[in-house]
Amino acid sequence: MKKIRLLFNFYKGFFLAPLLISIASSALLFVWGMEAFTMIFWYKIATMLIIYSFINSYKRKELFYYQNLGIGKLKLWFFAYSLDFFFFVILISQSQKFSFFSFLLKYRM
């Protein structure tokens, strides 16, 4: 339980940036449709890599803190990106659901 709390504590330090990017990606997908999914997916991957490099250099000492508590970098980043990807998929699916309903409302008979 302690390790899970530490993993969430690590993600809490930078969750806002990936969440805002996921929301923006979802909004773009809502506007442009599924044709833009590939571009939006690669945009999300690129921004995840930028966030990784920023956090890796900016919070280097904090990463040592987690390593001393028995949680390595790989486990921290795997958890953070898994959680981020989970939120991304949820937002994308909700975007598509709203897109479908707005299509039905627009062309109702």
Q: Is residue 14 part of a domain?
A: no
Q: What is the pTM of this model?
A: 0.77
Which pLDDT tens digit goes with each residue over 3-53?
Answer: 999 999 999 988 899 999 999 988 888 888 788 889 999 999 999 999 999
Eight-class DSSP state of 70: T
Tell me if 4 is assigned to some domain.
no
What is the domain extent for residue 32?
Answer: 19-106
Helix residue ranges per DSSP H, the chain: 2-12, 16-32, 37-58, 60-68, 73-106
In a domain, 2, yes or no: no
* Amino acid 17: pLDDT: 92
**Does residue 82 lie within any of the structural domains?**
yes
Q: Which residue in 74, 58, 1, 51 sits closest to 66, CA to CA?
A: 74
Q: How many domains does the chain have?
A: 1
Q: What is the pLDDT of residues 44-89, one digit of tens each?
A: 999 999 999 999 898 888 899 999 999 999 999 999 999 999 999 9
Phi, psi of 73 (to 5 degrees): -60, -40
